[in-house]
Amino acid sequence: SQQGEEDPQALSIQEGENATMNCSYKTSINNLQWYRQNSGRGLVHLILIRSNEREKHSGRLRVTLDTSKKSSSLLITASRAADTASYFCATGNSGYALNFGKGTSLLVTP
Amino acid sequence: EAQVTQNPRYLITVTGKKLTVTCSQNMNHEYMSWYRQDPGLGLRQIYYSMNVEVTDKGDVPEGYKVSRKEKRNFPLILESPSPNQTSLYFCASSLNPVGSGTYEQYFGPGTRLTVT
């Protein structure tokens, strides 16, 4: 069942700007993951943050997790046209499934 | 190269004609899963498998079957496809999530299915 919900649904920025997208979820989680999907292609894992972590970095990506608010944010710094894609958060608990949100569509224009 | 492969990538078929979408991974992953992606609905899990001969339903299993006879393969079977199964299908695999919680999943390139 879907749990994560991304906000905004769509985001348009210019190259060099930062992009921030948010994810809210409803129940307790073990970890939260962010994935990227280029148009019509398979999802690519970006970063995983566990419930006992508050912040994680990977290159130009910064993810935060606030379990008290049941929310996470993904920050992409110094965006490039190649960052144009849909971004999904996915929550994992002690079960077997990853529950995906509906995604944020990011457009980065030159 | 570590990867998940799916075949076919594109398929147009008619209502009621049985079809199989194959999925194979070369990472020795125990866990495999099928998703469908529809506009406005995001990804929804169809079936998953924890290991060979162990499968279970996801959120939208109606009209689908799966089997896991070998660790590397996890085919998706539509025995009598209907137009509402027109969708983009993804296979994914990961390490076994039991106990330690879920791991990152590796996705195949997708199969775009149209049922007329």
Amino acid B67: pLDDT: 96
Which residue is it, tokens 């998940």?
Answer: B4
Q: Which of B56, B60, B29, B93 is nearest to A42 (CA)?
A: B93
| DSSP conformation class of B5 | E
Q: Which band of pLDDT confidence, cut at 50, 70 and 90, is reported for residue B14?
A: very high
The answer to whether A103 and B42 are in contact (CB under 8 A) is yes
pLDDT in tens, B59-84: 899 999 999 999 999 999 999 999 99
Mean pLDDT for chain B overall: 93
A96 contacts on B by Cβ (under 8 Å)? 31, 48, 50, 56, 97-98, 102
List beta partners, residue B34.
B47, B91
Phi/psi-derived region of residue A17, left when phi > 0, alpha when psi is between -120 and 50, beta in every other case: beta
For residue B102, name the pLDDT band (cuts at 50, 70, 90). low
Residue B105 confidence (pLDDT) above 60: yes
- How far from B53 is each of B47, B65, B66, B68, B72, CA to CA, in Å? 13, 13, 10, 5, 12
Cβ distance B107 to A43 less than 8 Å, yes or no, reads yes
pLDDT for res B71: 96
Partners of A66 in the β-ladder: A71
Q: Is B85 helix (H, G, I), strand (E, B) or coil?
A: helix
B104, B106, B113: best mutation site toward chain A, by most A Cβ within 10 Å?
B104
Q: B62 Cβ partners below 8 Å, 6+ apart?
A: none
pLDDT tens string A28-46 = 888 899 999 998 788 999 9
pLDDT in tens, A7-33: 899 999 999 999 999 999 998 888 899
Cβ proximity of B73 and B23 under 8 Å = yes
Q: Which residues of B touch A (CB under 8 A)?
A: 4, 31, 33, 35, 40-45, 48, 50, 56, 58-59, 88, 90, 92, 97-98, 101-110, 112
Residue B45 clears pLDDT 80, i.e. is over it: yes
Residue pair B65/B79 in contact (Cβ under 8 Å)? The answer is yes
